[in-house]
Amino acid sequence: MAKRAAKAGTAAAGTTSPKPKTAKAKTVKMTLAERLPALASPGTAPAGRPPSAASQWRETRNAAARARLEKSLPALFPTSVLRYALSRPLVPPTPRLAVEGYWRHHILRADRLARALAVKSGQPEGWAWRLGTWTPGTRRPDPAGEDLSEKGLPFSFRVPPAPFREAPHALGKGHCCICGQPVYRFGWHRDLWGAGAPNRNAAWHAACVAAWKFWIAPADHVKALKRRQGHRCAQSGKRLLKTAEVDHRVPLYRIWREERARPWPELLRYWGLPNLQVVNRAIHADKCAAEAGERASARRSGRTDPPTLGPATLGPATLGPATLGPATLGPGSSSDEADTGSA
């Protein structure tokens, strides 16, 4: 027994104690109440008044949406987007829907960001603005025999040029087909999560989608444009009436006729906020009549103007890196009010 005890003691003395494991740093995921305590809790009905059936349904629905949003929300997420989501009458249940709704609500900010991202990408080598042969109302060609050089071309000069939607210049999944920049998680334009690679399942930024809809149908956002102009007519300075309309300062037919030789990022300014104004209907009608007369006289004279950098310019381009401004919202940004173009 004494020999066994001695051997056991010798073996114990010869063994080395295991090294303590170092704990890995984990990102602490905060709850919605910890992130934005003022907005995370549902609202309550006024004192002395029972809640209506619609209010009860909304509270039940928002409680489930908040729980789902909190479960899928990453530890790092733009604060401005989260603040917007929790202040909605109907809370979006996923981070992706929160991002998309944020850019739809801040449509002028999305327009500015999309044009700034286009400047960052630059015009693809060998690209020129041209129109496709297909027109609405006619049958599309068979995809098997379709000319790839025609794929993605706009059918009218009223559609903004988008070189990265065209087959010869498309960058594929993971890059925005509107601005050409990488697309990251939730359709965001910056890699806030350190993934190091774009999202291969996405083909557009949420901001660029909102901006594209704004470019092709600016009349749908007349309220935001009115608010930016202080509810004053851009031409007469008088108060805007309910029948006021959105107008392009430089008509798009002149852009196609005189300005299409400009670099692509500069062309986008003619569809964005720099070329948009809200005027009263009578002034808009007079402007359209004058433009129609100009086009008719040009047709009668048989004039075909070559692409030149003519008088239709809006001035020097101001779409450098500084244009990103508050639109490059980071995880801690909360400057919703800093942008005068917010909807």
- Measured N-to-C along each axis, helices 206-216 and 95-105 cross at an angle, to the nearest 10 degrees, of 30
Residue ranges covered by each domain of the chain:
107-136+145-326
Q: Decide if 81 contacts 98 (C-beta within 8 A).
A: yes
CA–CA dist 215, 179 (Å, integer)? 13
Q: What is the pTM of this model?
A: 0.76
- Measured at the CA of 11, the angle between CA 10 and CA 16, to 5 degrees, comes to 115
Cα dihedral 150→155→160→163 (10° resolution): 0
Indicate the burial class of 230 (C-beta count within 10 angstroms; 0-12, 13-18, 19 or more).
Answer: exposed
Confidence band for 138, pLDDT divided at 50, 70 and 90? low
Give me the pLDDT at residue 224, please.
Answer: 95
Concatenate the DSSP letters of all residues of 179-204 into one string: T--B--GGG-SS-TT--SS--TT--S
Q: Decide if 287 contacts 152 (C-beta within 8 A).
A: no
Kindly report the backbone phi and psi dihedral angles of residue 240, in degrees, each rounded to the nearest multiple of 5, phi listed first: -70, 135
Could you report the per-residue pLDDT of 37-95, keeping only the tens digit for each? 656 555 555 556 777 888 889 999 999 999 999 999 998 999 999 999 999 999 999 99
Residue 176 has pLDDT above 90, yes or no: yes
Ranges of H-type helices in the chain:
2-14, 32-35, 37-40, 53-72, 79-86, 95-105, 107-121, 206-216, 222-228, 252-258, 264-267, 281-301
Which neighbouring-strand residues pair with 245?
279
Residue written as tokens 């003519």? Answer: 310
